[in-house]
A and B are shown apart, each in its own frame.
Chain A
Amino acid sequence: MEMDRIGVVGLITTVFAALIFSTLIVEYEFPVFKYADPDQPPKLVENKTATIGQKVSQFLWDYRVIDLIAQAFVLFAAAACCTALLRTEEGKK
């Protein structure tokens, strides 16, 4: 891996930043669900591998229908994007 001087400085900076942030995060508590509304309990699912897939997809279809339909349109648009980019020019220049 050849690197010029800036590359070496960048690498050292990145490693230091990652170490410093990791230490800070481990030291200072993250307010885990501290501001959650106690009147709105979550719909929890048991953590067993046999049933978890089916329960999560049931949640997906019950609660997040709008996002799913919008995602279908996003996938269609992505297919249209790739067709637009990978089209062949019919001899026009």
Chain B
Amino acid sequence: MFTWPLDALLIFMVGTPAVGWLVHKNGYQKILGIYASASLLITAYFLYGLYKEAAEKGIILIVGQLPFSPPLGACLEIDMLSIFMAFLYIIIGLFATAYSIKFMESDSGLTEYYTLILGMIAGMIGIVFAGDFFTLFVFWELMCLTSYALVAFRKQKWEPIEAGFKYLVMSVAGSVTILLAMSFLYGMTGTLNFAALADGLTAATSEGWLYITLALVIVGFGVKAAIVPFHTWLPDAHSAAPSPISAMLSGVMVQTAVCALIRILLLVFNSAQPAWQMTLAVFAVFTMFGGNLMALLQNDLKRLLAFSTIAHLGYIIFGFATVSQDGLTAALFHTINHAIMKTLLFLCAGAFIRQTRTRDLRKLRGIGKTMPATVVFFSIGTIAIAAFPPLNGFWSEMMIISAGVRAEMIIFSTLTLANMALSVVYYFRLIRIIVLEEPTKVAKEAIRAPISMLIPLLILAFLCVFIGVYPGPFIGVSSKAAEAMLNIEAYIDSVLGGL
């Protein structure tokens, strides 16, 4: 079939309803959660084996049946970027699943919940492994469908249904735009394989239809990647989803869209590079401003964190828009850091919300006095994401700005620096409200979070500090992934080389 990690995850996804049916007694939720976490660990083990194989071979190519070869056949093409992103997805998925063992214990339908989480992670891994545009689209649909149902999971309240419907309509419009762009690319070259498209379209330097297709691709992926005119689904969906799902949506799903967008732009639209580079940089600046300015006005904890996600995506897209080894390394390193910090923040917010049943910041004042452990982790996450020196956010944000300056985009780098300074305002407002004020009546009634919810938070906070103090190996890994991303000739050769 496919490679071992993807196979294992899909088979475990299919096996989850069987496990759920077998343990249909009172204490059953824990067993399902433990099964889901164990399946993610087994997938991580297989992925490590794949990493060792890719480290020696460079690019691994998986085709269906050998005489029926790639330019017409579907293929999976795995390079260092794919393995890097897949590890990130599995680790964040593992934290979210371990956290939801205790968090979701009073919800019904847990069998479907764990099935859908495993399906979403499998879809995301498939997107970064795909070597053919239609294979990417199939796994894209897997990720999207599972995320629609997960956002609308607590359907007995009105808010997830409203947020879920708006999210579904906008996201399907984006997917269909991608399909239309795919049809134009097929019309121009007769194939849908990334390597063959890259090879064929290098000659298309001033083709008007290429620019129209470029616009459709940016709009289509931009809806999911929350670029500013198309971001309106994000605050509603991320606040209405259950907290571990918000952590996954915010931490890794939007990054998948950005990564797929950049992979396609670098490979297929290589001949139109100056055009999309400037366009992405301008969109990135709008996204940063939109996210930061709206976050200053929020009173709802999860909506504020969702707007902060939009702002950080602006930084990441700006890092990618510099199209240099430094810029891509910085953007990929910031992807890891943002995923860890944002997951930590959303899981802590989930702990607050579960104990007090409200998301309003004005009612959550001073909750630090009654839930001390959670608040320590929350403060570490907030200080990290506000880019303060000993923690991990500082390194990646400084790397993005220096890469922007080196790529001669001085105005954009200045605006990015201004945005980072602006964002410190609302992060400190969060710390002041949660830690330093006097507890309100609602905050006084909160009890401490249970230990099994605190353990993922502890590990994430430890990672924030560890990456901040010792960023070397992580920057090295990001650098290898960035090198693989920029190495277009190797990509094309590995598919078309033998032909």
Contact = CB atoms under 8 A, between A and B. Distances in A.
Consider the complex of A and B and state whether they touch directly, i.e. have CB atoms less than 8 Å apart.
Answer: yes
Interface of A: 28, 30-37, 39-40, 42-43, 62-67, 69-71, 73-74, 76-78, 80-85, 87, 89-90, 92-93
A32 B142 contact: no
Contact of B188 (A35, A62, A78): A35
A88 to B, nearest CB: 8
B448 to A, nearest CB: 24
Interface stretch (B146-154, B227-235, B370-378): B146-154
Interface string B103-118: 0001011001101100
27 contacts: A31-B207, A31-B209, A32-B187, A32-B188, A33-B187, A33-B189, A34-B188, A34-B204, A35-B200, A35-B203, A35-B204, A37-B191, A37-B200, A65-B64, A66-B62, A66-B74, A67-B74, A70-B139, A73-B10, A73-B122, A74-B138, A77-B119, A77-B142, A84-B112, A84-B149, A85-B155, A89-B156
Contacts of A84: 109, 112-113, 116, 149, 153
B73 interface: yes
B141 interface: yes
Contacts of B62: 66
B190 A42 contact: yes
A90 B209 CA distance: 55
B60 interface: no
Mostly helix, strand, loop or mixed at chain B's interface?
helix
Contacts of A42: 72, 190
Interface string B191-224: 1000010011101100111000000000000000
Interface of B: 1-2, 10, 13-14, 17, 62, 64-65, 68, 71-76, 106, 108-109, 112-113, 115-116, 119, 122-123, 126, 134-135, 138-139, 141-142, 145-146, 148-149, 152-153, 155-156, 187-191, 196, 199-201, 203-204, 207-209, 499
A74 B142 contact: yes
A77 B200 contact: no
B138 A67 contact: yes
Contacts of A71: 138
B221 to A, nearest CB: 19
B148 A81 contact: yes
B283 to A, nearest CB: 22
Given A35-B189, A82-B149, 5 more contacts: A63-B72, A67-B134, A76-B14, A80-B116, A93-B156
Contacts of B113: 84
Nearest to B72: A63
A63 B73 contact: yes
Contacts of A87: 108-109, 112
A81 B146 contact: yes
A80 B209 CA distance: 40
A77 B156 CA distance: 22
Contacts of B139: 70
Nearest to A70: B138
Contacts of B134: 64, 67
B72 A43 contact: yes
A76 to B, nearest CB: 6
Given A80-B17, A80-B116, A87-B108, A30 B74 contact: no
Contacts of A30: 187, 209
B2 A39 contact: no
Contacts of A33: 187-190
B192 to A, nearest CB: 10
Contacts of A70: 2, 126, 135, 138-139, 142
A63 B188 contact: no
A71 B126 CA distance: 12
Contacts of A81: 112, 116, 145-146, 148-149
